[in-house]
């Protein structure tokens, strides 16, 4: 046993093993003066104060911190590139159908995906409203894994037909191209007319109608009343194969 196998924490007045102390670059033994439990309790009790001090420190030392960051990136370029290559190689290992069915069970009628080993529901909510699932340390969109299980391959895109991003019943999923996927979207939050592709032209006191085709906004026409504008927009959607649910609220 060395001198540093145990250490005294002055806050809780207890002698503990050194692995119960966080690392430090300013102390002789490389460990903080108080144990991890005391440090955690202190940080929790002084959360606002610590955040204020940290903000003040960054404000006062922004120039030197930026300089140190640039120097680090320059001096460790090869190291960072090597890490990036390893990370890319790891993430490039695409989930296979055999691995998916080995780990997961899908119920088409309900859309549920569960882990075979535990019977628990797989997946968590992501910020974009979809569910994601982690398999072998890699994250996948849950509906894409479902398609892989059912059809043996990943699709280009998956469209939730009714617009509900977590309704993963098989009848609500369809494989589509990127262009087809854009033809079944809900109306944008910035829309003020209540009809996708219809905008009020204040200068001309009329309704302008547009439709997105091949990554371009195509002009359809100008109408004096919104009903004619809506009819023109719907006719264009039908002509160009838009899904009936396109423009839903």
What the chain holds in terms of domains, given with CATH numbers, is 7-59 (no CATH), 97-181 (3.90.75.20), 187-249 (3.30.730)
Per-residue confidence (pLDDT) for residue 86, from 0 to 100: 66
Mean pLDDT rounded to a whole number for the chain: 88
Q: What is the pLDDT of residues 87-142, one digit of tens each?
A: 655 555 689 999 999 999 999 999 999 999 999 999 999 988 999 999 988 899 99
Residue 243 to residue 185: CA distance in whole angstroms: 9
Question: Of 206, 190, 208, 189, nearest to 198 (Cα)?
Answer: 208
> What's the pLDDT at 91?
52
Q: How far apart are CA 49 and CA 37, in angstroms?
A: 19
Coil vs helix vs strand at 203: coil
* pLDDT tens per residue, range 164-197: 999 999 999 999 888 887 888 888 888 889 999 9
* C-alpha torsion angle, residues 87, 88, 90, 91 (rounded to 10): 110
Residue with tokens 């955040």: 51
- pLDDT band with cut points at 50, 70 and 90 for residue 29: confident
Q: What is the chain's length?
A: 249
Cα–Cα distance for residue pair 35/116, rounded to 1 Å? 41
**Among 155, 173, 154, CA closest to 164:** 173
Neighbours of 132 (CB within 10 A): 18
Contacts for 57-65: CB closer than 8 Å, 24+ residues apart: none
pLDDT score for 1: 39
CA end-to-end span of the chain: 69
3-class state of residue 31 by DSSP: strand
Distance CA 226, CA 203 (A): 16
Whether pLDDT at 247 is above 60: yes
Assign 2 a pLDDT band (cuts: 50, 70, 90).
very low
Model confidence at 4: pLDDT above 60: no
Spatial contact of 228 and 195, defined as CB atoms under 8 Å apart: no
Burial tier of 167 (Cβ tally within 10 Å: 0-12, 13-18, 19+): middle
84: Cα within 13 Å, side-chain hemisphere: 6
This prediction's pTM: 0.54
Which whole number is the average pLDDT over 59-79?
85
């Amino acid at each position: 046993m060395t001198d540093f196998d145990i250490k005294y924490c002055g806050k809780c007045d207890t002698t503990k093993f050194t692995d119960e102390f966080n690392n430090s670059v300013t102390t002789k033994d490389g460990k903080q003066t108080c144990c991890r439990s005391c440090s955690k309790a202190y940080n929790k009790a002084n959360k606002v104060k610590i955040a204020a001090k940290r903000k003040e420190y960054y404000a006062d030392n922004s120039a030197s911190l930026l300089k140190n960051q640039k120097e680090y990136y320059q001096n460790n370029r090869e190291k960072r590139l090597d890490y990036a290559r390893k990370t890319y190689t790891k993430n490039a290992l695409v989930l296979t159908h055999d691995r998916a069915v080995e780990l997961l069970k899908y119920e088409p009628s309900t859309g549920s995906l569960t882990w075979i080993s535990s019977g628990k529901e797989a997946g968590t909510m992501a910020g974009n409203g979809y569910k994601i699932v982690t398999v072998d340390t890699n994250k996948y969109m849950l509906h894409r894994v479902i398609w892989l299980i059912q059809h043996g391959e990943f699709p280009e895109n998956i469209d939730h037909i009714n617009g509900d991003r977590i309704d993963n019943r098989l009848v609500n999923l369809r494989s589509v191209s990127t262009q087809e996927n854009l033809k079944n979207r809900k109306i944008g939050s910035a829309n003020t007319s209540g009809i996708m592709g219809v905008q009020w032209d204040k200068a001309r006191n009329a309704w302008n109608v547009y439709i997105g085709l091949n990554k371009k906004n195509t002009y359809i026409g100008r109408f004096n009343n919104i009903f004619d504008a809506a009819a023109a927009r719907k006719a264009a959607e039908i002509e160009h194969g838009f899904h009936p649910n396109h423009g839903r609220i």
